[in-house]
Structure 1
Amino acid sequence: MKTEKKDIVIIGGGPIGIACALEFQKRNWDYVVIEKGALTNSLFNYPKNMTFFSTSEKLEIDDIPFISNNAKPNRDEALEYYRRVTTSNQLQINLYETVNSVQKGAQHFTIESSKSTYISNQVILCTGFYDIPKMLNIPGEQLNKVTHYYKEAHNYTLQDVVIVGASNSAVDAALEIYRKGGRVTMVVRSEHIGERVKYWVRPDIINRIKEGSIKAYFNSEIKSIEDHQINICTPDKDIEIPNDFVIALTGYLPNFDLLSQSGITLSDDKKAIPNYNPETMESNVQGLYLAGVICGGKETHKWFIENSRIHAKKIAEHIESIKE
């Protein structure tokens, strides 16, 4: 396996990884971005008809204009924008390459990937959180009818579909599948639809539930999944309902294994927030920086593109101050 020397290795090729690459390229630093999937892999795996909560200008990086047909851009427009930013600026990005380990040595980092070994002075971790779903940990979750991701509604037409969760992704999936002719049931642990659901969508799902178009069990959990039914625990009683598919949209987690293996410590509470300096974005490991959603630990709603774009500039300015 070949060994490459770089000033900086950026792990994660999402919008924030691209923003870091732009900042470093402007300073003529020798960097590389390593992404385990497609460019902006998390966005690529979003539902096909997803619309962002943010307006297009708040998704822009490095003051490069993001023009969309509507005030709030959709998934395809975002993919095109970040692809254009990457290709037009000829950013150095290696796709479909998985980072297996990050080791801090006396004078540099050693990064082992599925394709190469890298030696670098600094490492930026901006791997997001969309790759590791929160599991239900119940019998039957391993069945082929169960998924933790939702792409589109067509294959659920005329099917009995259970959606677990009440976040933006769960609500979007429930409404789309219902409107494509699926028989939708939602199973929600809390007592109502999530407060963070997009303000123009929340009334829609509430009204569909009230009129009975979508069935919802609140304060309820799935106990087990079987080939042709699911078993639900509700406040009144345990029930069985016919079922063809289960879409468990209960959230996702950062790659805590990579964080810990790299030497980054996490808070002791349930939030598991990584240890870093918010002024410089440097972690407790000197030379190892965090950027983007990963900074929030399990609080994955805290950081998103529009409020973490500034991380790239903070990191670049700190590294530049060290070089001086």
Structure 2
Amino acid sequence: MKIEKTDIVIIGGGPIGIACALECKKRNWNYVVIEKGTLTNSLFNYPKNMTFFSTSEKLEIDDIPFISNNPKPNRDEALEYYRRVVLSNQLNINLYESVNSVKKEHGHFIISTNKSNYQSNQVIISTGFYDIPKLLNVPGEHLNKVTHYYKEAHNYTLQDIVIVGASNSAVDAALEIYRKGGRVTMVVRGEQIGERVKYWVRPDIINRIEEGSIKAYFNSEIIEITKNQVIIKTADDIKTLPNDYVIALTGYLPDFELLKNSGIQLSQEGKHSPEYNKDTMESNIKGLYLAGVICGGKETHKWFIENSRIHAKLIAEHIENLN
């Protein structure tokens, strides 16, 4: 397989990867974005009716206006915005191409994918965190009725649904399924609904739980899933619930294996925070940069679009100063 040579390889075609591509294009650098799924793959896999916590101007990249019909944009508006940014700027993005390895050899990087090999002077990893769910690690998790992603409510109508978690995604799913006629039970490891749940949604879920429309077991966890039931351990005893589907929205993890295999140092205190310079976003490997939520390690709530879009400019300015 021949090697394609370029100045910069950007791994990840989400909003921050797109922002990095825009910075490269402005400077007339040769670059390519490699994305293993569709454009903005994580956003595409969000629930269809999801509304962002952020307002549209905070989701903008490179000062390109994001016009929304709503105070806070929804998933479809975000997909349209980032797609138009890519198409109107004719960004060089290869979709449905998976990176197998990133190795530094003789002063440059060799990036191997399922379709090609690349040689570049710099690499930017901006792969997000939405592709690897945190597993429950309980018997029955492999059953087809168990999912770690939620798309829409219609197929859960008139069904007994257990939702695991108390974050924004779990709360949104619980409310939407309840309002579409599903029988919803939430199993929450903590003692309350998450403090970071969207402020206009949190009172809604609390009220639905208090009135009994949605059942919730706090300080509880699933210990087994069977074909027609879910067995949970509460603070008081073991309960067996009738069940048709389990939606385990317990969070997701970055691709740590890609980072480790690339030579990036990860902290050992449990957070798996990657090593990088906060002023330049360069990792412990010279010429290998990190951007976006990947910088937070397991603390995936630390970085999001509105506070990590600056990473693209920091990286581009550092590379520019090297030349």
Q: Smaller-chain TM-score range?
A: over 0.9
1:211 Cα deviation after fit: 0.2
1:119 Cα deviation after fit: 0.2
Superposition pairs for residues 115-126 of structure 1, below 5 Å?
A: 115-126=115-126
Superposition pairs for residues 119-134 of structure 1, below 5 Å?
A: 119-134=119-134
Aligned residue for 1:241, secondary structure, equals: strand
Counterpart in the other structure of 1:76: 76
Counterpart in the other structure of 2:295: 295
Distance 2:263 2:107 in 1: 15
Moved over 6 A (4+): none
Aligned residue for 2:267, secondary structure, equals: coil
Counterpart in the other structure of 1:209: 209
Superposition pairs for residues 194-205 of structure 1, below 5 Å?
A: 194-205=194-205
Counterpart in the other structure of 2:165: 165
Deviations 1:252-298 (A, max 9, x none): 00000000000000111121100000000000000000000000000
Counterpart in the other structure of 1:35: 35
Pairs aligned (count): 323
Distance 1:310 1:143 in 2: 42
Percent identity, please: 80
Would you say 1:259 and 2:259 are equivalent positions?
Answer: yes
Distance 2:106 2:198 in 1: 48
Aligned residue for 1:158, secondary structure, equals: coil
Aligned residue for 1:141, secondary structure, equals: coil
Write the letter of the residue equivalent to 2:202.
R
Counterpart in the other structure of 2:272: 272
Write the letter of the residue equivalent to 1:96.
Y
1:2 Cα deviation after fit: 3.1
1:189 Cα deviation after fit: 0.2
Counterpart in the other structure of 1:47: 47
Distance 2:3 2:160 in 1: 52
Distance 1:104 1:278 in 2: 22
Aligned residue for 1:22, secondary structure, equals: helix
Counterpart in the other structure of 1:146: 146
Distance 1:212 1:277 in 2: 50
Write the letter of the residue equivalent to 1:259.
L
Write the letter of the residue equivalent to 2:171.
V
Write the letter of the residue equivalent to 2:50.
M
Distance 1:253 1:161 in 2: 24
1:40 Cα deviation after fit: 0.1
Distance 1:187 1:239 in 2: 11
Distance 2:2 2:61 in 1: 33
Write the letter of the residue equivalent to 2:73.
P
Counterpart in the other structure of 1:136: 136
Distance 1:11 1:56 in 2: 25
Counterpart in the other structure of 2:245: 245
Counterpart in the other structure of 1:174: 174
Aligned residue for 1:232, secondary structure, equals: strand
Counterpart in the other structure of 1:189: 189
Aligned residue for 2:216, secondary structure, equals: strand
Write the letter of the residue equivalent to 1:310.
I
Aligned residue for 2:274, secondary structure, equals: coil
Distance 1:310 1:300 in 2: 17
Write the letter of the residue equivalent to 1:245.
Y
Counterpart in the other structure of 1:62: 62
TM normalised by structure 2 equals 1.00
Counterpart in the other structure of 1:7: 7
Write the letter of the residue equivalent to 2:289.
Y
Could you list the runs of 5+ residues in structure 2 that have no partner in the other structure?
A: none
1:106 Cα deviation after fit: 1.8
Deviations 1:209-234 (A, max 9, x none): 00000000000000000000000000
Write the letter of the residue equivalent to 1:322.
L
Distance 1:74 1:239 in 2: 37
Would you say 1:231 and 2:234 are equivalent positions?
Answer: no
Write the letter of the residue equivalent to 1:138.
V
Counterpart in the other structure of 1:18: 18
Aligned residue for 2:191, secondary structure, equals: coil
